[in-house]
A and B are shown apart, each in its own frame.
Chain A
Amino acid sequence: MSEDTAQIALTVNGEHVTRTVPVRQHLVDFLRTDLGLTGSHLGCEHGVCGACSVRVDGRVVRGCLMLAVQADGAEVLTIEGLTDTGEITDLQEAFVARNALQCGFCTPGMLMTAAELLAEQCPKSREEIRTFLSGNYCRCTGFQAIVDAIETTLAKRLER
C-alpha cells in the first residue's frame, strides 16, 4: 500500500500554515517534525499520559489521538504559542516559583490543561484541581506542587 498524503491548511500559533502530510501522521508528530514545535511531547501515543496536550479550536485535546489531516481548517495552539499570547504568564511564573516541574516533560501538557481550568474562571478546591488534572501523568513531582501553583494562580485571578 502506498503512503496516502493530503494537503492541509490550518492556523498554528496564529500563523497560517499549508503542508502536505501523510494521512496517518498524527497532529503532534506534524507539529514537532514539520513545524519544529517541539514543546508538545510524546509519552505514550495511546492517549493516556497527556504529554501531547494541545489546544485545537479552543479546547485542550490529546494531540496524539488526532490526525494532522483532521486539523485542516483548525486553529491549533501549542505551548509555544500559548506562552507568546501571555495568557498563562502568571501560571508559568507560579510553576517556576513553586518548582511545579522537575524534568519538565509533562509540563506543557499540564499547563495546557491547567489553562483550561483557569479559563472556567470559577473557584476550585484542591480536590477539584486534582480531578481536572487526572488525565495528565507526572512521575517527578507527585503532583502536589502543581496543585499548589494552580491554586495560587486561580486565587490571584479570582481576586482581581
Chain B
Amino acid sequence: MKAPKFSYVRANSLEQVLQLLAQHGEDARILAGGQSLMPTLNMRLSQPRLLIDINRLQALSGIELRGEQVRIGALTRHVDVAGSATVARYLPLIAEAMPHVAHVAVRNRGTFGGSIALADPAAEMPACALSLGATLVLHSTAGRREVAATDYFQGLYQTARRPDELLVEALIPVQQPASVSVFGELAQRHGDFAVAGVAFQLKVERRTVADARLVYFGSEDKPTLAPGASAAIIGRSLDDTSAIAAAESALEHDLSPMSSPHASSRMRLHLQRVLTRRALATAAERVGSA
C-alpha cells in the first residue's frame, strides 16, 4: 500500500500554515506526528492534495505551568507529556492515561494536539481534556479563538475546528488539592483502541463528592460527560454503594454506545458500568490515602 500522490510543504512559520489552510481548506491536511494520518494515506483511505508538515514549528511544542493552568503545545509528543514532571504533578489524570496511549514508538512521534484534533472516539487525550475542562486554542488567518473542551468535541471525528484553523495549544486547569482523578480503560490487548474507558475528575470534601466530571470514552462517538451519573454521586459519600449503583444505572440515559464487530453497544454499556464502579472505588482509596 503506497500512498497516493500529494504535494508537500514543510512549514517554517505558523503564519505560513494559516495562509495555506485559508487557501486550501479541506484539501490540505496537517502532518504532525503522522501516527493517524500516515496509515490512512498508505491505505489510500484519504487522498489530500496537500500535506502541511508542521514538525519544524517548535513554538507549538512545550509544557509550561502558567499560574493555575498547564499549557501543552499541540506539537508536544506524547512521550514528552508522559515524562513531564509538570504533568505528573498538576495533571495526574493525563499522567495516568499516558501508558494506555498506543505503544512506545507511536508515543515517540504522536502529538498531544494531533490526538485532540483527530478526536478518535477511543482516544485517551480528548477524554482527559474534557474531564479536566481544558480550553483548546485555535488560530487562523482571522485570529485566535478559544473553545472549551465541552464545546470542542462535537461528534464522530467532528470537532469545533474549522478547516482553516490550526489547533495550537491546550490550556488545562491544574488539579486542585481537593480533587482526585481516576483514569481507566478496557481493551483486549495493551495499546488497542479502548472499547470502554473513563476519565473522572472529582472534587471531594471529606469523602463527599462536591463536584464530578465523569467522562466516558471508547464507547461513545465522542468523549462524553455523564450528567446523570455525575448527579447521582454529587453530595453523596464515595462509600455510598447505592449512590454508585444509581450512577451506573444513570448511564443508560447518559450514554449511547456504538456497536462494532468487536463489541456490541450492550457490552460497552455494561463495561462502562463496571468501570464506573471500579473507578469510584479507586477514587475512594486515593482520597483515603491522601
Contact = CB atoms under 8 A, between A and B. Distances in A.
Direct interface between A and B, CB < 8 A = yes
B105 interface: yes
Contact of B8 (A2, A4, A45, A50): A4
Interface string A13-40: 0000000000110100100000000000
A47 B114 CA distance: 16
B5 A50 contact: no
A106 interface: no
B253 interface: no
Interface string A71-107: 0100000000000000000000000000000000000
B2 A24 contact: yes
Contact of A70 (B3, B39, B53, B99): B53
A2 B49 CA distance: 12
Interface residues of B, number: 32
Interface string A45-62: 111001001000001111
Interface string A117-151: 00000000000000110111000000000000000
Most chain B beta-carbon contacts within 10 A, residue among A53, A134, A136: A134
B38 A26 contact: yes
A113 interface: yes
Nearest to B39: A46
A53 B2 contact: no
Interface of A: 1-4, 6, 23-24, 26, 29, 45-47, 50, 53, 59-62, 64-67, 69-70, 72, 113, 116, 131-132, 134-136
